[in-house]
Amino acid sequence: MADDDPSAAAQIDRAARLRDEVARLAGDIAETEEQVATVRRQMAVDRPDRTEAHLAAAADAEQFAAHERRQQARRRSEGPPGDA
């Protein structure tokens, strides 16, 4: 269908570019959250009076980073729109 319709081909191309952009952004978010986790773990060492809170925040950041990495992998593994 896309071969016959330039409009459909353009939409498929745009969808693929957007999918790639979402994957890139998910990776960027994951990287940021991993940095947050690292900082919070260091804060736990530096501020023993707040260790529990900092470690909990680090764990939350790591969980969110893992979620974003899964999203990134899922987006990257998807084929071109219409392949399903």
The pLDDT tens digits of the residues spanning 60-78 come to: 999 999 999 999 999 888 8
Residue 29: give the domain boundaries: 6-77
Q: Is the pLDDT of residue 1 over 60?
A: no
Has residue 23 been placed in a domain?
A: yes
pLDDT at 40: 98
How many domains does the chain divide into?
Answer: 1
**Residue 10, token pair as written in the block:** 């353009």
The pLDDT tens digits of the residues spanning 12-52 come to: 999 999 999 999 999 999 999 999 999 999 999 999 999 99
In one-letter notation, the amino acid at residue 28 is D
Q: Where are the alpha helices (DSSP H) in 1-84?
A: 6-46, 51-77
pLDDT at 78: 81
Has residue 83 been placed in a domain?
A: no
Has residue 1 been placed in a domain?
A: no
Has residue 84 been placed in a domain?
A: no
Contact criterion met (CB below 8 Å) for 69 and 26 = yes
The dihedral through the CA atoms of 35, 39, 44, 45 has a sign that is positive
pLDDT at 84: 43
Has residue 71 been placed in a domain?
A: yes
Has residue 82 been placed in a domain?
A: no
